[in-house]
Structure 1
Amino acid sequence: LLDTDMHCVNMLAILTTILMISSAYAVQWPAGSYTLVKAKTGCPTGWHEGWRKQDNEDNNNKNELTTGHHFYGTFGSNMKFYYCTKGQQTTSGTQSWPNGNYCILRQGISCPPGFQTGSIYWDDEDKNNSNEKDGILPSGEFGKNTLINYCCRSDGSYSTKILLPTEKPFYLLRFTSSPCQQIKGMIATEEIIKTDDEDNNNKNSNSGSHPLNDGGRNNRLYYCYYH
């Protein structure tokens, strides 16, 4: 009986050690400050949140979202997206973002190491514009029109699986690759958003290194949902 008890104690000690080691080596979010679009499952623990409502075109609105999407927000003839922002002080790993082909949203005046910056501009509805915002948002301009700054990189192959946390689903954006960047231990599903932007004298634009946007007068972005 004593031998059995000792065996159980030893096994428990070994299992506890294994758990401690695996949690110590669990993949953490990269260092620095940046923003991701919020999924229905919520933000990573300790991150800041905010939202932006865009007043899209009123006349014969044709907003489009992938059926069965996983974005957290309100989506009809106007779009209300929520954002998850990791601050400099938020607990994370010390590693940089891995090489690959993808984009994140910029937070502050510069991108994390390895990324190039760029932006996308939405010419929102001109008439009785009802754009709103609250909380912590990505770097950009959020008045009667919307400009969001991004951080993009193409220094690795999309097919090389990179390491990022797998505890909870999240979004990245496509840059120049097709399909989505692959992440170890997660399935990537593409989800597309097309906003019906201002029809009259439309001023939509892109600059620098920005996520894939082939919509022209109506911005169309390609998100990668990891689950």
Structure 2
Amino acid sequence: MKNRGVLVTLCFTFCPSVIAAFVEWPFGTYTLVKPKSGCPSGWQEGWRSQDSEDGRNRNSLSFGHHFYGSFGRNLKFYYCTRNPNMFSGRRYWPSGNYCILKHGASCPKGKKGKTFFFKCVLFFVREDGSYKTKVQLPTRNPFFLLRFTSPCQVVQGMYVREESVKFDDEDRNNKNSVSGKYPMGASNGRNQRLLYCYYSPLG
């Protein structure tokens, strides 16, 4: 009888993390910023280079950041795009408060998706839940999301750390603009400071 009690205790302790490990990425084609650990298996990779201010450049990233790329006077970020041919039995992104990068002509599945342009980059916003609610996303590998109007979204089975990127854009003839709803840190100002959420597996 004692052994059965131990088995039940272990199940209640470890089953949630085991279940989380088998969570699929939602259906659709979308893009996440590539972390140093790499892209999810089977995803496509690409990069985007940004020509920043030449004189007295003040680009900066969080100390000890986990972004993959090259970062100096100019910034080169790499991205992970979900392969459209990959199967997933999960249709929707979970309700919450966060942003991801849109890919293609339409938003990923989500009833309240909004989009906006940030120097020709398009984002998809979820704004239909509390950041405190633990959402389920794959926990096998680290990944990035963007903050929207709240602290970083809580993800079940993942540790989260905020990381930021400050873009020192051109001083002359600067045409930065945003509209609608957009990630925290973006603005109509000359420079931008986007706030990312870096997730890594617990334990």
Structure 2 counterpart of 1:226: 199
The one of 94, 99, 116 aligned to 1:98? 94
Aligned: 1:68 with 2:29: no
Aligned: 1:35 with 2:31: yes
Aligned: 1:165 with 2:146: no
Question: 1:30 Cα shift?
Answer: 0.7
Distance 2:21 2:67 in 1: 30
Aligned alpha-carbon RMSD (Å): 1.9
Question: 1:77 Cα shift?
Answer: 0.7
Distance 1:185 1:193 in 2: 25
Which string of whole-angstrom CA distances, capped at 9 and with x for unpartnered residues, describes residues 76-122 of structure 1? 11000000001321233323110000000001111122242322433
> SS of the residue aligned with 1:105?
strand
Between the aligned residues of both structures, percent identity stands at: 57
TM-score (norm 1): 0.76
Question: 1:214 Cα shift?
Answer: 4.6
Instruction: Give the counterpart letter for 2:63 in structure 1.
Output: T
Aligned: 1:119 with 2:89: no
Displacement over 3 Å in runs of 4+: 22-25
The one of 200, 205, 208 aligned to 2:172? 200
> SS of the residue aligned with 1:35?
strand
Instruction: Give the counterpart letter for 1:207 in structure 2.
Output: S
The one of 208, 217, 220 aligned to 2:190? 217
After the TM superposition, which of the residue ranges 83-92 and 33-42 deviates more from structure 2? Answer: 83-92
Instruction: Give the counterpart letter for 2:164 in structure 1.
Output: I
Distance 1:199 1:24 in 2: 46
Q: Indicate conservation of the 8 Å contact 2:20/2:138, yes or no.
A: no
Question: 1:26 Cα shift?
Answer: 1.1
After the TM superposition, which of the residue ranges 56-65 and 111-120 deviates more from structure 2? Answer: 111-120
> SS of the residue aligned with 1:118?
coil
Structure 2 counterpart of 1:45: 41
* Larger-Rg structure: 1
Distance 2:155 2:183 in 1: 18
Instruction: Give the counterpart letter for 2:53 in structure 1.
Output: E
Distance 1:200 1:66 in 2: 26
Which string of whole-angstrom CA distances, capped at 9 and with x for unpartnered residues, describes residues 167-194 of structure 1? 00000000111x1000000011100101
Q: Indicate conservation of the 8 Å contact 1:117/1:149, yes or no.
A: no
Aligned: 1:78 with 2:88: no
Structure 1 counterpart of 2:83: 87
Distance 2:117 2:194 in 1: 10
Distance 1:225 1:44 in 2: 15
Give the gaps of 5 or more residues in structure 1.
1-21, 123-146
Question: 1:58 Cα shift?
Answer: 0.1
TM-score (norm 2): 0.84
Structure 2 counterpart of 1:139: none
Distance 2:20 2:98 in 1: 27
Distance 2:131 2:20 in 1: 28
Give the gaps of 5 or more residues in structure 2.
1-17
Question: 1:23 Cα shift?
Answer: 7.8
Structure 1 counterpart of 2:8: none
Q: Indicate conservation of the 8 Å contact 1:118/1:206, yes or no.
A: no
Give the total of aligned pairs. 182
Distance 1:82 1:24 in 2: 26
